[in-house]
Structure 1
Amino acid sequence: MRLQLLTAGSRGDVEPFAALARAAQDRGHEVRLGLPDHSDVDVSGFDTASLGVDFARLIAEQGVSPLAAFRGMRAVMRTLLVTAVRQTLEYVPDLVVAHPKVLSAPLAARRLGIPYVMAAPTPVVTPTRAFPAPGVLPFSLGPLNRATYVAAAAGSRMFAAELADAARTAGVEPVRRMPEADATLIPISEHLVPRPPDWPANVQLTGPWIGRRIATPDPEVEAFIAGGTFLYAGLGSMATGDPVARASTIVRAARDAGLRVLVATGWGGLVLPAASAGSDVLAVRTVDHAAVLPHAQVALHHGGAGTVHAVARAGVPSVVVPFLADQPFWAGVLHRRGIAPPAIRPRRLTTARLRHALDEAGGMRDASAAVGRAMAGENGTDRALGLLEALVR
């Protein structure tokens, strides 16, 4: 099978696709992964191609507010959509698997007459009564939840001009309604979000797509881990507000709780000030979650889908500071599962609130360990590959 994977966004959007690409290649398939630049994901050892966009630079220049995100997406979407189509037509795969942000993927699949599979890292595309569309509403409307997915499906209208350019590149007529996916795969755990009974049969909850390789931490990180209990703190690409003040608050609360702190500064979500330095604090740009998180006492994070799954799979309780999009949804999932206290909004992050949350999270270690053990039995990557192979037989 010749497999074209296309993804866009930050690390959490790229990592599952990289895991799937590596697993498919290990199984003997030919794979090309189209991805954004500077994702901080290890993509060594298989065929990759740049989609010509750099979300790290976009966030550094524009920030992560919804308005800034919209402006930035409009600025890069034409390049992303046209490049994705061009790459797919040049590669001529048997199957296209794409992130929902790659709106033009079904156009390329239609032009080639091959199946198109949507791979959604969060359940925001397929309507259900079970919960509202993540990122649209923070509370349930019961039977009316399905209506909230109208907003989530507006991408093809919002970027109509860019899609028209992509259609011309693909050599197909522009359409008002994009072709439906032959299947939708959602790489999340049923131990966090059970599959809604009203999803159609071609929408599958596979379990998370996780790479088999675990990177060895660099000596400084390894030594820090060996030094005893610590709080992992990482807010990824959430470079908005005052990342220096946030880092200071986190260090103060952790010290009050008797915890050392491993800070992952990411794409600017946290910036450690010199005044907070000490032997009990280590700041690094990024870490391999699978290598580090199982050793943490608690993990403080922004609630991105990838980080949520990495922390839960590690069997570690969370403290979630959600900023936007689907992050409040995931914060609610973890809280209802009993493995995180109520979320703390960024503007309400104080030393006292965080110290209380850390104490509460400390009492959730048994529940978190149980969830981690259950998730360890999932093999979402292999399940997804099996479903893809069935589509091209």
Structure 2
Amino acid sequence: MGRAARGVKFLLVVPPLAGHVAPLRGVAAALTSRGHQVAWCGPCPELSTLVSGPVFPAGDSGPFSLELRPPELRGFAALKYLWESYLVPLADAMVPGVLSAVSAFAPDVVVVDQQAMAGALVAARCGLPWATSASTSTELADPLGSLPKIASWVGELQAGLRARHGVLLGDLRFSPHLVLAFTTRALAGESRLAVPASYVGPALPAASGEWSPVDDRPLVVVTLGTSNASAGARFLAESVDALAGMPSVRGLVVDPSGGLVSESVLLARRIPQVAVFAHASVVVCHGGHNTVCEALSAGVPLVVAPIRDDQSMLAQQVTAAGAGVRVRFDRVKAADLRTAIESAEAFRPGASRIRESFEAAGGAEEAASRLESLG
């Protein structure tokens, strides 16, 4: 009887980011239900608020928050900040804690989020099989392939990490054993990299909480996720103006700051997103991977206004799949948003095709099966 049959220990190494932890929560539940042991490792105390089960601390989540990034940064400036002020320092800070977790928990397999490179460093150093958790698919599309100087700069930063921690390894973002892509080829296309990618589809949470429509009008939801409050004030205000001028729909705008006021548009600081999207006709969002997948899992067409990081490429994937339309985050006006929302119905067939591909991919259960093959 193999180890996968009698139970395997999996250590999940993640950054303190809700969107990156989210897909692995479902995978952890699936592994546990099959008789395996699962533990988490990452910066605390924040990680402990995002997961259930044993948590091994690795670094302090206080200094490492993308909310500290100046909201006006875009393009290469945003990428530079991400790597120099977040990803690399986070990896250096997490390595001692991940080493301690490996010593204490003695995992058979390590699962590493792409933004928690300390997991890859330690797994390689300890000779453990490890899998990459690609919570967003954009790296598989090789976004820097046409930007050799920037790609070389990223490579040098990684080389410095490997040298500091005594590891001979390739790209820390891609395991040579298994890369779990929480998407499908129908949305993301084929990987442009020679990596062992398994397209398992989104590992979405069950709907938490209940939500009922206020009336029978089509529901249009506007959300910019959990980490874009300061950058999104203008866009959300334009969205309220756009929806106020559309009496045939019911608008719902998620305003984390609570600063917006409207007599005709519903406003909320947060929503049970999966439950709300089940009733939505259109979702307007920033292109965050979880939000995109949650909307498309409900067959809801999108209006995507990417802000930075991988969101532009996700917007490109949505439009290429015929599942939505793209607008300019920095420049869009209320009239432009109304036009985009009114056009979204034409993209419902594309959104339905993506939903079907998600349902066929297997999600958390398929990811758990792939991980078992490493044990």
Equivalent positions of 1:124-139 (< 5 A) are 124-126=138-140, 131=141, 133-134=142-143, 136=144
Say whether residues 1:192 and 2:173 are aligned partners. no
Q: Which runs of 5+ in 2 are unaligned?
A: 1-7
1:2 corresponds to which residue? 9
Say whether residues 1:336 and 2:324 are aligned partners. no
Structure 1 CA distance for aligned equivalents of residues 163 and 123 of structure 2: 15
Structure 2 CA distance for aligned equivalents of residues 24 and 150 of structure 1: 41
> Structure 1: which 4+ aligned runs deviate by more than 6 Å?
none
TM-score by length of 2: 0.82
Match for 2:259: what amino acid? Answer: P
Quickly say closer, same or farther: Cα 1:11–1:363, change in 2 above 3 A.
same
Structure 1 CA distance for aligned equivalents of residues 346 and 25 of structure 2: 35
Quickly say closer, same or farther: Cα 1:379–1:152, change in 2 above 3 A.
farther
Quickly say closer, same or farther: Cα 1:365–1:12, change in 2 above 3 A.
same
Asked whether the 8 Å contact 2:56–2:97 carries over to 1, the reply is no
Structure 2 CA distance for aligned equivalents of residues 161 and 82 of structure 1: 17
Asked whether the 8 Å contact 2:240–2:253 carries over to 1, the reply is no
C-alpha distance after superposition, 1:13-58 (max 9, x if no partner): 11111111111111111001224554798523x3234443438972
Task: Determine helix, strand or coil for the equivalent of 2:222.
Answer: strand
1:26 corresponds to which residue? 33
Structure 1 CA distance for aligned equivalents of residues 83 and 229 of structure 2: 15
Match for 1:206: what amino acid? Answer: V
Q: Which runs of 5+ in 1 are unaligned?
A: 137-145, 168-172
Asked whether the 8 Å contact 1:92–1:112 carries over to 2, the reply is no
1:293 is aligned, of 263, 266, 277, to: 277
1:205 is aligned, of 167, 182, 199, to: 199
2:222 corresponds to which residue? 233
Quickly say closer, same or farther: Cα 1:58–1:234, change in 2 above 3 A.
same
Say whether residues 1:183 and 2:178 are aligned partners. yes
1:215 corresponds to which residue? 208
Structure 1 CA distance for aligned equivalents of residues 127 and 190 of structure 2: 30
1:277 is aligned, of 236, 245, 262, to: 262
Quickly say closer, same or farther: Cα 1:225–1:354, change in 2 above 3 A.
same
Quickly say closer, same or farther: Cα 1:9–1:163, change in 2 above 3 A.
farther
Task: Determine helix, strand or coil for the equivalent of 2:65.
Answer: helix
Quickly say closer, same or farther: Cα 1:148–1:272, change in 2 above 3 A.
same
TM-superposed CA distance for 1:367, in Å, is 3.5
TM-superposed CA distance for 1:333, in Å, is 1.1
Structure 1 CA distance for aligned equivalents of residues 170 and 64 of structure 2: 32
Quickly say closer, same or farther: Cα 1:195–1:159, change in 2 above 3 A.
closer
Equivalent positions of 1:1-393 (< 5 A) are 1-8=8-15, 10-36=17-43, 38=46, 43-44=51-52, 46-54=53-61, 58-64=65-71, 65=73, 66=78, 67-70=80-83, 72-73=85-86, 75-126=89-140, 131=141, 133-134=142-143, 136=144, 146=145, 148=147, 151=150, 155=154, 157-158=156-157, 167=165, 173-175=166-168, 181-196=176-191, 200=194, 202-211=196-205, 213-217=206-210, 222-224=211-213, 228-239=217-228, 243-258=232-247, 259-265=249-255, 271-274=257-260, 276-278=261-263, 280-285=265-270, 287-341=271-325, 343-392=326-375
TM-superposed CA distance for 1:159, in Å, is 5.5
Structure 2 CA distance for aligned equivalents of residues 32 and 17 of structure 1: 11
Structure 1 CA distance for aligned equivalents of residues 148 and 131 of structure 2: 19
- Identify the range of structure 1 (330-339 vs 50-59) with the bigger mean alpha-carbon deviation: 50-59
TM-superposed CA distance for 1:147, in Å, is 5.5
TM-superposed CA distance for 1:261, in Å, is 2.8
Percentage identity across paired residues of the two chains: 22
C-alpha distance after superposition, 1:120-176 (max 9, x if no partner): 2233445xxxx5x23x4xxxxxxxxx55588558656325565556x3xxxxx3448
Asked whether the 8 Å contact 2:202–2:293 carries over to 1, the reply is yes
TM-superposed CA distance for 1:10, in Å, is 2.9
TM-score by length of 1: 0.79
TM-superposed CA distance for 1:85, in Å, is 3.1
Structure 1 CA distance for aligned equivalents of residues 124 and 112 of structure 2: 14
Task: Determine helix, strand or coil for the equivalent of 1:207.
Answer: coil
TM-superposed CA distance for 1:386, in Å, is 1.4
TM-superposed CA distance for 1:317, in Å, is 0.8
